[in-house]
Structure 1
Amino acid sequence: MASGPVLVIGLDPVRIPGWDPEPVVAAIARGQARFEAHGIEADLCLVVPDETAEATIVAALAAKDYACVVVGGGIRKHEPLLELFEQVVNLVRRHAPGAAIAFNSTPEDTADAALRWLR
């Protein structure tokens, strides 16, 4: 298993129209606190499903040599975002080929998803 920084790719709850972002923002903060409690560096890459997503993800993947990339459930579980989910997985394969790919269930269990592949 690898050890090192983690990149979390998910939907930006503040920039998605039509729903209350506060519960998701709070859950993301709790998830990030769990990484800190485990002593794991974790960066967030929050995107909107539009033409800016790919460039944002590529820039984040290029920023560090990530040991693991966690793809959030908002991207993975929402069927209309299937194309974005495929794009994310292929961008990780292309731009961070050494990184494990993990999937969370909620923003709060993101550290657990990464820990399955770290250390």
Structure 2
Amino acid sequence: MKNTKALSIGLHPRSLDYSTLPDGVDEASLTARIAAGNAALREAGFDVVTCLVDPSPDGAEAAVRKLLEDGTFGVAMIGGGVRMMPEHTLLFERLVNVLIEAVPGIRLCFNTSPETTVDALRRWIEP
């Protein structure tokens, strides 16, 4: 899919418990990695809207629904912080289901870190 708008959903760095993450990962370093990942997306030519959510399934769903009202997205990327932390399983389910319900036919892709977001999107769309 060429020239497709993408939605990138991830946990806001302020919402994480850094005591459960590997050494060296803190709010400042994660914020910097996310900013660098977003810059790489722009440099690669992707039309991406970023949505950083809190871990509340209700709040995250509301934020995503609001963005979906304002744009047509062909693909959504859900970040590893949402998917890979067992305590966010309900959040992940809710996000997947709201995307499928609100945008029939949307493609989903997944990164493993902010640094792999470009690769995740390239699997489904071209800038």
**TM-score normalised according to structure 2 size:** 0.85
* Contact in 2 for aligned 1:58/1:91 (Cα 8 Å): yes
Percent identity over the alignment?
Answer: 35
Unaligned runs of 5+ in 2: 19-25
Unaligned runs of 5+ in 1: none
Return the offset for 1:2.
5.0
Match of 1:97 among 86, 101, 104: 104
Amino acid at match of 1:40: F
RMSD between aligned residues: 1.4
Q: Which structure: larger Rg?
A: 2
Residues 3-40 of structure 1 show CA distances to partners (whole Å, capped at 9, x for unaligned) of 311110110002x1543311111111111111112111
* Contact in 1 for aligned 2:3/2:47 (Cα 8 Å): no
Asked whether 1:32 is paired with 2:38, we answer: yes
* Contact in 2 for aligned 1:35/1:111 (Cα 8 Å): yes
What is residue 72 of structure 2 aligned with on the other side?
65
What is residue 49 of structure 1 aligned with on the other side?
55
Residues 80/110 of structure 1: CA separation in 2 closer, same or farther (3 Å cut) = same
Matches within 5 A, 1:79-98: 79-98=86-105
Q: Moved runs in structure 1, 4+ residues, more than 2 A?
A: 17-20
**TM-score normalised according to structure 1 size:** 0.90
The 3-state SS of whatever aligns with 1:52 is: helix
* Contact in 1 for aligned 2:9/2:51 (Cα 8 Å): yes
Return the offset for 1:79.
0.5
Aligned length: 118
Q: 2: CA distance between counterparts of 1:111 and 1:73?
A: 14
* Contact in 1 for aligned 2:8/2:77 (Cα 8 Å): yes
Q: 2: CA distance between counterparts of 1:42 and 1:102?
A: 13
